[in-house]
Amino acid sequence: MEKLYSALNVQVANWSVLYTKLHRYHWFVKGPLFFTLHEKFEELYNESAGVVDEVAERLLAIGGEPVATMKEYLSIATIEETKGETNANEMVASLITDYKHLKAELKELAELAEQNENDVINDLAVGLLVKLDTHIWMLNAYLGE
């Protein structure tokens, strides 16, 4: 069960870091597609906040304790806070990298949940995989890939 707690906490940390990164992008994006990306980044950081809450509450429901400080997030997150992205394409490319990374970890979480016979966490991970596939596709389309 400890492995499941740990894997869920990594997700809490990663989605918290992603929330902050997306907020940064929302504030600092510039260029001809400002309005489109400004709105999209807001949509994505709101989604990230919801994921943090859902995963943390699921962790509490099974007897775990979610990490809940920036220091803890940064100490266990497996995605980077920022690489100093300054233009829209860099921001979008960074998000694609992060979403692919999260996708790999969520596949592992789904398998771990299955091994622990926890259908709810498995469903949560698989549902997030569907969202990430869509985000990766759309962001790649933005970059013309």
CATH number at residue 96: 1.20.1260.10
Q: Compute the C-alpha angle 141/16/138, nearest 5°.
A: 10
105: domain range? 2-142
What confidence tens digit (pLDDT) does each residue in 50-96 have?
999 999 999 999 999 999 999 999 999 999 999 899 999 999 999 99
Q: Which residue has the tokens 């992205």?
A: 85
How many domains does the structure of the chain reveal?
Answer: 1
CB neighbour list of residue 16: distance below 8 Å, 6 or more residues apart:
48, 52, 70, 73, 77
DSSP 43: H
Structure-block tokens of residue 110: 């789904």
pLDDT for the residue numbered 145:
81
How far apart are alpha carbons 110 and 92 in whole angstroms? 26
Rounded to two decimals, the pTM is: 0.95
Structure-block tokens of residue 129: 């995989």
What confidence tens digit (pLDDT) does each residue in 96-131 have?
999 999 999 999 999 999 999 999 999 999 999 999
